[in-house]
Amino acid sequence: MNRRDFLKLGSAGLALASLGSNAADVLNTPKRVGLLGCGWYGKADLLRLIQVSPVEVVSLCDVDRRMLDGAAEIVASRQASHKKPRLFHDYRDMLKEKDLDIVLIGTPDHWHALNGIAAIEAGADLYLQKPISVDIVEGQALLKAARKHGRVVQIGTQRRSTPHLIEARDRFVREGKLGKIAYVEICCYYHMRATDNPPDTAPPEYLDYDLWTGPAPMRPYNALVHPRGWRAFMEYGNGIVGDMCVHMLDMVRWMMDLGWPISVSSTGGILIDPRSKANITDTQTAEFDFGAVKIVWTHRSWGEAPDPKYPWSATLYGDKGTLKASVNGYDFIPSGGGTAVHKDVTYEFEQYPEDKTEKDLETHVAPAIRGHMRDLLANIATRGKPVADIEQGYISTTSCILANLSQKLGRTLHWDPVAGRITNDESANQLLARPYRSPWVHPDPATV
Model confidence pLDDT, tens digit, residues 250-269: 999 999 999 999 999 999 99
- Residue 356 buriedness (CB in 10 A; 0-12 / 13-18 / 19+): exposed
The pLDDT, as a whole number, for residue 21 is 60
Scanning 332-416, the segments in alpha helix (DSSP H) are: 366-382, 390-409
Radius of gyration of the CA atoms of the chain, in A: 21
Question: Contacts for 78-86 with beta carbons within 8 Å, 24 or more apart?
Answer: 78/47, 78/50, 78/354, 79/50, 79/55, 80/54, 81/56, 83/56, 85/34, 85/57, 85/58, 85/59, 85/60, 86/58, 86/59, 86/60
Give burial (CB, 10 Å; 0-12/13-18/19+) of 57: buried
Whether 13 shows a pLDDT value over 90: the answer reads no
Average pLDDT of the residues in 312-340: 97
Plot region of 214 (φ>0 → left; ψ -120 to 50 → alpha; else → beta): left
> Per-domain residue ranges for the chain?
3-160+370-389, 163-348+394-429
Q: What is the C-alpha to C-alpha distance for residues 84 and 75, in angstroms, rounded to an integer?
A: 7
Q: Does the structure show a pLDDT above 80 at 11? A: no
2 confidence band (pLDDT: 50, 70, 90): very low
**pLDDT for 29:** 81
pLDDT reading at 112 higher than 70? yes
Element of type H or E holding 213: helix 209-213
The strand pairing partners of 250, in sequence order, are none
Buried b / exposed e along 291-310 (16+ C-beta atoms within 10 A): eebebbbbbbbeeebeeeeb
Q: Read off the pLDDT of each residue in 388-408 and give the average, rounded to a whole number.
A: 98
Q: What is the mean pLDDT of the chain?
A: 95
What is the pLDDT, as a whole number, of residue 332?
98
C-alpha 82/C-alpha 131 separation (Å) is 32
What is the phi-psi region of residue 223: left when phi exceeds 0, alpha when psi lies from -120 to 50, beta otherwise? alpha
Each residue's pLDDT tens digit, 43-98: 999 999 999 999 999 999 999 999 999 999 999 999 999 999 999 999 999 999 99
Spatial distance between the Cα atoms of 400 and 394, rounded to a whole number of angstroms:
10
Q: What is the distance of C-alpha 217 from the center of its chain? A: 23
Residue 330: pLDDT above 50? Answer: yes
- Could you read off the pLDDT of 347-383 as tens digits, one per residue? 999 999 999 999 999 999 999 999 999 999 999 999 9
Centre a 10 Å sphere on the Cβ of residue 385 and count the other Cβ atoms it contains. Answer: 16
Domain 163-348+394-429: give its CATH code: 3.30.360.10
Flag whether pLDDT at 124 surpasses 80: yes
Q: Does domain 3-160+370-389 fall into CATH 3.40.50.720?
A: yes
- pLDDT tens readout for residues 168-223: 999 999 999 999 999 999 999 999 999 989 999 999 999 999 999 999 999 999 99
Neighbours of 186 (CB within 10 A): 25
pLDDT at 4: 47
